Amino acid sequence: MSFSLDNPTLQRLIKSALDFLLIYLSAYGLSKLVSSLKINEKTKHRYRKIIYYVATIIGFVILATIWSGTTRSLTTIIGVASAGVAIALQQVLLNIAGWFFLIIRRPFDIGDRIEIGGVQGDVIDIGLFQSSLLEIGNWVDADQSTGRIVHCPNGLIFKEPIFNYTKGFEFIWNEIKILLTFESNWKKGKEIILNSVAKEQQQLEGVMKGKLKRMSRKYLIHYTKFTPIVYTKIADSGVELTLRYLVDTKERRSSQHRISEEILGAIEKEKDIELAYPTYRIYQREKGS
């Protein structure tokens, strides 16, 4: 094989080497420039990575142009390369698609309380690739904040169900269980529980009806009762009374605290009502029996 300067293959090799050297030196110079900037090391590292990524892409396009020979061949190479990039960046593209879905369909918005992928929290940011939640629950009871920020990839919305606590109707059903002894006046206990929650519910009833009316225009949801109810159950250690009532999603713990204190205070005044707890009875057989 002849390697004269008139040889097309040799010309392409020389041109490729020169272009590679030029791109490498440019990227190296820009990287040094970034290193001299007065910014934190984490940001410098990110900028340097971006420079080399862009240089690699530019180098690939230039080499493809040199060796393709024709525009048709170049189009074929770019098509194959695009398919490879799509496969390699599948998750990234899925996250971007998820972002478009969030912007257009809006299953949740900033400020909403949601659960997705087993994570509960208040949405504090929706980015191109991920959404950020201020976590609630986990080791903290009654849906209060843990202080951690959780970043969830947007692609999760296509794989996991989304539970939205505040979209359209900001109220959820909550339950408080009270266990009374079998000897207690459990009917009076039910009255005490309902009276303890009545004042709080009266303030919210008008608001709840208005919000539910608006939500029922979009979703097939029809609540017929907003008033609290107490269910009765015979348990192993006594009579279990379960209060079920509607509460603002973000006020569940504070509401439960107020109602519980009201119930305990009222029960203390009653001589015929006692709180129960799990008990054990031990029997001893007499000798000779």
Maximum average pLDDT range among 35-44, 94-103, 211-220: 94-103
The predicted structure's pLDDT at residue 47: 81
CATH number of the domain that 186 lies in? 3.30.70.100
Q: Average pLDDT in the 170-176 region?
A: 86
Based on the fold, state whether residues 118 and 61 are members of the same structural domain. Answer: no
101 three-class SS: helix
Based on the fold, state whether residues 202 and 241 are members of the same structural domain. Answer: yes
What CA–CA distance (Å, rounded) separates 156 from 94?
9
Which letter, b or e, does each residue of 7-45 get, where b requires 16 or more Cβ atoms within 10 Å of its Cβ? eeeeeeeeeeeebeeebeeebeebbeebeeeeeeeeebe
Residue 3 placed within a domain: no
Based on the fold, state whether residues 175 and 246 are members of the same structural domain. Answer: yes
What CA–CA distance (Å, rounded) separates 125 from 72?
44
pLDDT greater at residue 47 or residue 193: 193
Based on the fold, state whether residues 178 and 127 are members of the same structural domain. Answer: no
> Which of 60, 88, 116 corresponds to the end of one domain?
88
Residue 97 placed within a domain: no
pLDDT band, residue 152 (cuts 50/70/90): very high
Based on the fold, state whether residues 175 and 141 are members of the same structural domain. Answer: no
The predicted structure's pLDDT at residue 249: 84
Q: Average pLDDT in the 56-61 region?
A: 80
- The partner residues of 162 in beta bridges, in order of sequence, read 116
CATH number of the domain that 151 lies in? 2.30.30.60
Mean pLDDT (the chain) is 81
Based on the fold, state whether residues 141 and 159 are members of the same structural domain. Answer: yes
- Measured in degrees and rounded to the nearest 5, phi and psi for residue 95 equal -65, -40
Residue 288 placed within a domain: no
Based on the fold, state whether residues 30 and 116 are members of the same structural domain. Answer: no
Based on the fold, state whether residues 160 and 176 are members of the same structural domain. Answer: no
> Which of 164, 198, 232 corresponds to the end of one domain?
164
pLDDT band, residue 149 (cuts 50/70/90): very high
Q: Average pLDDT in the 71-92 region?
A: 64
Strand order in 239-248's β-sheet? Answer: 171-180, 239-248, 229-234
Instruction: Evaluate if residue 284 carries a pLDDT over 70.
Output: no
State pLDDT tens for residues 218-244: 666 666 677 889 999 998 889 999 999
pLDDT greater at residue 79 or residue 178: 178
What CA–CA distance (Å, rounded) separates 2 from 97?
52
pLDDT greater at residue 197 or residue 62: 197
Instruction: Evaluate if residue 22 carries a pLDDT over 50.
Output: yes
Residue 26 placed within a domain: yes
Residue 1 placed within a domain: no
Q: Average pLDDT in the 187-191 region?
A: 94
Q: Is the dihedral of CA 208, 170, 225, 221 positive or negative?
A: positive
Residue 129 placed within a domain: yes
Instruction: Evaluate if residue 258 carries a pLDDT over 50.
Output: yes
Based on the fold, state whether residues 139 and 177 are members of the same structural domain. Answer: no
> Which of 42, 59, 88 corresponds to the end of one domain?
88
Instruction: Evaluate if residue 200 carries a pLDDT over 80.
Output: no
Residue 126 placed within a domain: yes
pLDDT greater at residue 63 or residue 163: 163
The predicted structure's pLDDT at residue 191: 93
Q: pTM of the prediction?
A: 0.60
Going from the C-alpha of 23 to that of each of 35, 36, 63, 81, 136, the distances in angstroms are 18, 20, 11, 20, 49
Give the range of the structural domain holding residue 155, as residue numbers without chain letter: 107-164
Based on the fold, state whether residues 189 and 118 are members of the same structural domain. Answer: no
Residue 127 placed within a domain: yes
The predicted structure's pLDDT at residue 48: 81
Based on the fold, state whether residues 70 and 139 are members of the same structural domain. Answer: no
pLDDT greater at residue 168 or residue 227: 227
The structural domain count of the chain equals 3
Based on the fold, state whether residues 178 and 260 are members of the same structural domain. Answer: yes
